[in-house]
């Protein structure tokens, strides 16, 4: 087991280094064909560097000799090291049918895996410049070079590598998406992260569906939709995504329940884009019944119920790479392409993206356990309060900063909706990533003006589909205590009051979450909704009651007043501190103060102070 | 000062305005309206002060909710004095519940009975068709005019209150001639009647909606249509008003929209025959 992990790790490193090396190498030899290049390694041993090279004569024989001599002499420049490490030498070479066989001494095998990859890439790059050489095959001693699996690497040429011509970042985007595949039984969805490089002008929805059809790369994940199902059209409007599939989607059934197929598409789309609902049609026909009982003429929303619980594992990074390698096997790649995603170029469907015949232009795939899990903005802030609704966990952040290019910009408070429930405590500072959205005003006459409502609370932006990145361990013990007290109060009420518990929760704890909207509506119609909100009535009854009780118990005006004040303040904070509560508490504070100091309490002046 | 300094936006927040309006109504308006209505005894005062409170918060309620509960006037008379019992019942149950749940169950019982009673009241109010007045969202000028009228009425109340106090002081000293007393009474009656008229006019102005032109409001219902038509003859129609992308449209969109327009009666709801747009388009 340990050994496999080691191998996987090495492979992972190879992929990374190789990638870096090839991004560095790419795009040069096309426009300057007549110039020859020699390669050496940068001082960090992470990538190849190139320099101009002038052979004595431009013939095959002379150039081969020149190159191998230069290599064996370990020629280099000041800012780098030679391609070959000490001891490694080309012992002989021969050319046959355009295939150059390069034979190395045994020291070749002693090189580190990463160095070997750089060396191999350098060799291939160098010798392919020689006229008459179409591919390069490496031998160590008399044996052909093998990869980590013990398989022959075989002949290599430039096509072995997918080159990223897009060093200009404008044409391409690079994002990590969450795709939803299924487990072995085909009854649950499993999430898989995948980083994809794609042309910027492609909609993300198209990219993720394409990736979804390609199937999973991780072990234990199984495809949900047929590989050759094709998206005929894709439209987005009003937060709804309309997907039109070809009939393959329906006809060619996989071993998964129809629900899994539909929701893998729906969840993937919702996770990757900002749509809330998805409608699927098949060849323009909406009134299809998919499978036995999935009506397609319907808007599908995010579904959590068919989620597989154990989805994020620690060794996912390793697994991912292991599966890339497996995948290569399936595709029958001869070369050890551990640092090259050749399948990325070869298997992208041509039609969908136009000129994907050009390798450089085609979207390449990198499936790495990158930290980036969702596109969007990154913010950090302090948890003020949170509530768990039936759809998501909502957190109010204060002292919030927007993080842009590793700089912090202070912004107003933000209310975020977490995709997944997290164990949070008030006072924690958290780092989240998601899509920031302005709070919208009412769209219709008479509609609730949430823009104004949240503006009062200094909230101008919501963050939807937020993913927690980091959280601090420290939290406010005091506020957590208040929350716990509230929670235990709720439990007591639940047991004591039975079905009336939600009403009592609202009246005593100011918590309307569980209150049935129907009940609320009835109270509203009858004009007595105000008893369900904590207001002056509550505060004065409770506060004065407590004060009088304490005074009867023999406490003086001072201690009784101070004590009841303290309790009411805590109570006000615990119940959520709505504006009417705060008004009542402040006025109670003034009234108590007047009583303690023996002055007359004037309601109007107290009111204006509070306002 | 404290809340507004922290966040000035609260000045236009419904919760803020209602909460402060209530206290203003109780503190300032109640005694004047009481004097105006001639309520001197304790129980009549208890009857009249909620009215004062409602008069102060009326424009706010209409502005934000488009409706005012009439039933609430009467129900609150029963509910307000007793809600303390519910509250203390709940609180006592909370405290007792820490020690023993059965005891808490016992303590909370009277409160639960009261809640049952409230529920009954609510359903009673819901059954009678006149439980709410849907006045519609008033314009700013309507609100200003209304408050102007209200302030005049309050000054009248203040005047009556002073007159009554003076009369009391005088009557204690010596017997008044009947003529003068009668004249004074007439004067007071006249003021009361004009105050009543002022209030009525104020409320009418608040609920005034100019009709006579065709008005079409297209509601944003997400995926679907919702078109509200008001004809010059003051008939109201709703076209479609269904949505396949938003849930509970009626509660969150249609009802508030209707209320804000002061529409309590729809003459008809028209459903167009559904046209399927084929995806080839």
Give pairs for A209-213: CB < 8 Å, separation 24+: A209/A234, A209/A243, A209/A265, A209/A268, A209/A269, A210/A348, A210/A349, A210/A352, A211/A177, A211/A179, A211/A365, A212/A179, A212/A180, A212/A181, A212/A264, A212/A265, A212/A268
For residue A361, give every residue at least 6 positions away whose Cβ sits within 8 Å of its Cβ, in sequence order, or none. A165, A199, A355
B149 phi-psi bin (left φ>0, alpha ψ -120 to 50, beta other): alpha
Q: What is the pLDDT of residues A258-303, one digit of tens each?
A: 778 888 888 888 888 878 888 888 877 766 666 656 666 677 877 7
Write down the pLDDT at residue A451: 85
- What is the distance in angstroms between the Cα of B204 and the nearest Cα belonging to chain A? 20
User: How far apart, in Å, do the first and last CA atoms of chain A sit?
Assistant: 69
In chain B, residues with a C-beta closer than 8 Å to the C-beta of A584 are 19
Residue-wise pLDDT for B211-270, tens only, equals 778 888 888 877 777 888 888 888 888 887 776 666 677 777 888 888 888 887 888 887
pLDDT range class, residue A308, cuts 50, 70, 90: very low
Using an 8 Å Cβ cutoff, are A443 and A493 in contact? no
Using an 8 Å CB-CB cutoff, list chain A residues near B7.
456-458
Please list every residue in chain A whose beta carbon sits closer than 8 Å to the beta carbon of residue B107.
496
Residues near A234 by beta carbon (within 8 Å), at least 6 away in sequence? A203, A205, A206, A209, A241, A242, A243, A244
CB contact under 8 A, B79 and A507: no
SS3 (DSSP) at A583: helix
Chain-chain contact of A527 with B69 (C-beta, under 8 angstroms): yes
pLDDT of A371 reads: 35
In this complex, do A541 and B84 lie within 8 Å of one another by their Cβ atoms? Answer: yes
- Whether A531 sits inside 8 A of B83 (CB atoms) is yes
**Given CB atoms, is A611 within the 8 Å cutoff of chain B?**
yes
Report yes or no: A241 at the B interface, CB cutoff 8 Å: no
Non-local CB neighbours of A523 within 8 Å, separated by 6+ positions: A529, A531, A532, B118, B122
Pick the more confident residue, B180 or B25.
Answer: B25
A317 confidence band (pLDDT: 50, 70, 90): very low
Residues A378-391 as b or e (16 or more Cβ within 10 Å = b):
bbbbbbbbbeeeee
Whole-number pLDDT of residue A253: 62
Mutate: best of B8, B15, B139, partner A, most A CBs <10 A: B15
Inter-chain CB proximity B251 and A583 less than 8 Å: no
Tell me how many degrees the CA angle A371-A375-A381 measures, rounded to the nearest 5. 80
- Report pLDDT digits (tens) over B75-122: 877 787 788 888 888 888 888 888 888 888 888 888 888 888 888 888
Contact A611 B2 (CB under 8 A): yes
- Residue A297, chain B, CB below 8 Å: the answer is no
Q: Cβ B27–A603 below 8 Å, yes or no?
A: yes
Residue A238's closest chain B neighbor by CA? B222
For residues A353-377, give the mean pLDDT.
Answer: 39
């Amino acid at each position: 087991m340990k050994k496999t992990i080691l191998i996987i790790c090495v492979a992972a490193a190879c992929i990374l280094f190789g990638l870096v090396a090839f991004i560095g190498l790419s795009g040069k030899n096309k426009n300057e064909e007549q110039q020859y290049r020699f390669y050496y390694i940068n001082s960090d041993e992470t990538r190849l560097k190139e320099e101009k090279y002038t052979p004595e004569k431009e013939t095959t024989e002379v150039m081969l000799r020149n190159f191998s001599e230069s290599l064996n002499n370990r020629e280099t420049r000041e800012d780098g090291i030679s391609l070959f490490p000490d001891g490694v030498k080309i012992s002989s070479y021969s050319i046959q049918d355009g295939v150059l066989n390069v034979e190395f001494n045994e020291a070749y095998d002693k090189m580190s895996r990463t160095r070997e990859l750089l060396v191999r890439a350098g060799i291939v790059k160098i010798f392919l410049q020689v006229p008459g050489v179409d591919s390069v095959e490496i031998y160590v001693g008399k044996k052909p070079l093998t990869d980590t699996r013990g398989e022959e690497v075989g002949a290599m040429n430039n096509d072995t590598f997918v080159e990223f011509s897009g060093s200009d970042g404008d044409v391409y985007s690079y994002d990590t998406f969450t795709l939803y595949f299924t487990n072995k039984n085909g009854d649950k969805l499993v999430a898989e992260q995948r980083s994809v490089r794609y042309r910027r002008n492609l909609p993300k929805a198209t990219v993720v569906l394409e990736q979804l059809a390609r199937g999973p790369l991780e072990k234990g994940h199984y495809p949900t939709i047929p590989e050759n199902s094709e998206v005929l059209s894709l439209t987005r409007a009003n937060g709804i995504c309309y997907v039109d599939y070809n009939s393959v989607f329906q006809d060619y059934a996989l071993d998964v329940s129809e629900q899994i197929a539909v929701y893998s598409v729906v969840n993937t789309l919702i996770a990757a884009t900002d749509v809330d609902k998805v409608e699927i049609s098949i060849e323009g026909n909406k009134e299809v019944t998919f499978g036995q009982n999935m009506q397609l003429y319907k808007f599908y929303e995010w579904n959590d119920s068919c989620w597989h619980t154990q989805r994020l594992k620690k060794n996912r990074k390793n697994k991912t790479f292991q599966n890339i390698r497996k995948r290569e096997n399936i595709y029958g790649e001869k070369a050890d392409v551990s640092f090259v995603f050749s399948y990325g170029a070869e298997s992208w469907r041509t039609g969908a993206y136009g000129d994907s015949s050009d390798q450089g232009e085609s979207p390449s795939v990198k499936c790495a356990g990158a930290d980036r899990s969702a596109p969007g903005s990154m913010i950090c802030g302090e948890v003020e309060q949170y509530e768990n609704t039936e759809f998501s966990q909502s957190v109010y952040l204060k002292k919030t900063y927007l993080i842009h290019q590793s700089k912090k910009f202070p912004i107003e408070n933000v209310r975020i909706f977490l995709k997944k429930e997290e164990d949070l405590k008030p006072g924690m500072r958290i780092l989240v990533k998601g899509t920031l959205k302005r709070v919208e005003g009412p769209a219709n006459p008479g509609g609730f003006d949430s823009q104004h409502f949240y503006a009062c609370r200094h909230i101008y932006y919501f963050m939807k589909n937020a993913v927690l990145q980091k959280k601090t361990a420290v939290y406010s013990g005091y506020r957590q205590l208040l929350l716990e007290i509230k929670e235990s109060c709720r439990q007591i009420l639940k047991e004591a009051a039975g079905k009336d518990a939600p009403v009592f929760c609202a009246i005593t704890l100011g918590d309307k979450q569980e209150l049935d909207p129907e009940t609320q509506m009835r109270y509203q119609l009858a004009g007595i909704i105000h008893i369900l909100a904590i207001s002056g009535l509550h505060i004065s009854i409770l506060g004065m009651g407590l004060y009088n009780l304490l005074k009867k118990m023999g406490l003086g005006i001072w201690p009784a007043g101070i004590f009841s004040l303290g309790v009411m303040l805590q109570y006000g904070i615990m119940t959520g501190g709505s504006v009417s509560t705060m008004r009542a508490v402040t006025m109670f504070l003034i009234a108590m103060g007047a009583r303690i100091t023996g002055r007359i309490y004037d309601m109007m002046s107290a009111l204006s102070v509070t306002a | 000062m404290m809340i507004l300094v922290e966040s000035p936006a609260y000045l236009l927040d419904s919760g803020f305005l209602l909460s402060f309006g209530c206290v203003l109504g109780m503190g300032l308006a109640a005694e004047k309206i009481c004097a105006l209505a001639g309520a001197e005894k304790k129980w009549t005062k208890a009857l009249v002060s909620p009215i004062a409170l409602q008069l102060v918060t009326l424009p706010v309620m209409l502005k934000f909710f488009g409706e005012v509960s009439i039933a609430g006037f009467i129900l609150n008379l029963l509910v307000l004095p007793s809600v303390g019992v519910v509250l203390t019942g709940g609180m006592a149950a909370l405290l007792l519940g820490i020690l023993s749940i059965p005891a808490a169950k016992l303590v909370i019982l009277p409160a639960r009975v009261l809640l049952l009673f409230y529920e009954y009241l609510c359903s009673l109010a819901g059954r009678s068709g006149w439980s709410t007045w849907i006045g519609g969202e008033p314009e700013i000028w309507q609100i200003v005019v209304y408050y102007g009228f209200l302030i005049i009425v309050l000054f009248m109340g203040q005047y009556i209150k002073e007159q009554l106090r003076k009369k009391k002081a005088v009557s204690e000293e010596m017997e008044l001639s009947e003529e003068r007393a009668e004249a004074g009474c007439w004067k007071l009656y006249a003021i009361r009647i004009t105050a009543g008229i002022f209030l009525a006019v104020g409320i009418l102005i608040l609920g005034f909606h100019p009709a006579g032109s065709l008005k079409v409001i297209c509601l944003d219902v997400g995926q679907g249509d919702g078109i509200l038509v008001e004809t010059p003859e003051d008939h109201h129609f709703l076209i479609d008003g269904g949505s396949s992308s938003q849930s509970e449209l009626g509660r969150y969109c249609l009802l508030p929209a209707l209320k804000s327009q002061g529409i309590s009666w729809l003459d008809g709801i028209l459903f167009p025959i559904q046209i399927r747009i084929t995806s080839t388009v």
